[in-house]
Amino acid sequence: MKREKTITKIKELLLTKRKFQFISWAILSFLVLVADYFTGPFIQFPIVYIFPIVFVTWFNGRRWGLLFACILSFARIFFYFLWIVSWSSLEVVVNVLIRMIVFSLIVFLVDSEAKRRVLLEEVKVLRGILPICSFCKKIRTESNIWIPLEEYINEHSEAELSHGYCPDCLREHYGVELPSQK
């Protein structure tokens, strides 16, 4: 019961944090759009559009990153109607499509890097040669102490071990045959 309450509180905190992050990215995007509007059509800083897109992708995932990439790309079309420019509609649409493609590629790159980092944090790999006793299967540590295999694996990885009997050992030590599984 206590564990369930703790898990519920953690989920609520994470949800609140996500909402706060999302609002932060939306405000940052709005500020970028306002700055872009006031600098006019001839001064372009598409690099600043990348910041909210990267942040929302890193913390909220690919879908939100793509949504922000599309919204920020299309927002520039509305500016062209407000500014008096001599560009044709085709030039405006091509520029928006180029931005959308570039922003989408950035979203995919950032999302794959974020997922890779999460996976790297999860994986704890045992590497190298482990000195193990041929009889009792204890492992020698760096400080020349022999410890059981299970203890070593628990200390040096996130794996959990459970014990059971394989059919050969069950037959050899207890004389019991397992029913054949088909």
Same domain membership, residue 91 and residue 19: yes
pLDDT at 10: 57
> Given 122, 155, 171, which residue is the final one in a domain?
122
Same domain membership, residue 29 and residue 14: yes
> Given 122, 139, 160, which residue is the final one in a domain?
122
Q: Total structural domains in the chain?
A: 2
Same domain membership, residue 75 and residue 115: yes
Domain span at residue 177 reads: 125-182
Same domain membership, residue 47 and residue 117: yes
Same domain membership, residue 73 and residue 140: no
Same domain membership, residue 154 and residue 78: no
Same domain membership, residue 158 and residue 71: no
Asked whether 74 and 34 are in contact (CB, 8 A), the reply is: no
Residue-by-residue pLDDT tens, the chain, 182 positions: 555 666 566 556 555 666 777 788 788 888 888 888 888 777 777 788 888 999 899 888 899 999 999 998 888 888 877 877 787 888 888 888 998 999 999 999 999 999 998 888 766 666 778 888 888 888 888 899 899 988 888 887 777 778 787 888 878 888 877 676 65
Q: Is 69 helix (H, G, I), strand (E, B) or coil?
A: helix
CA distance 165 to 29: 59
CA distance 13 to 7: 10
> Given 106, 122, 138, which residue is the final one in a domain?
122
Tell me how crowded residue 157 is: count the other CB atoms within 10 A of its CB.
Answer: 13
pLDDT at 110: 95
Same domain membership, residue 93 and residue 26: yes
Same domain membership, residue 102 and residue 18: yes
Same domain membership, residue 142 and residue 178: yes
pLDDT at 103: 93
Same domain membership, residue 153 and residue 114: no
Mutual angle of helices 46-60 and 2-39, in 10-degree steps = 170
Q: Which two tokens stand for residue 93?
A: 């649409």
Asked whether 71 and 29 are in contact (CB, 8 A), the reply is: yes
Same domain membership, residue 105 and residue 15: yes
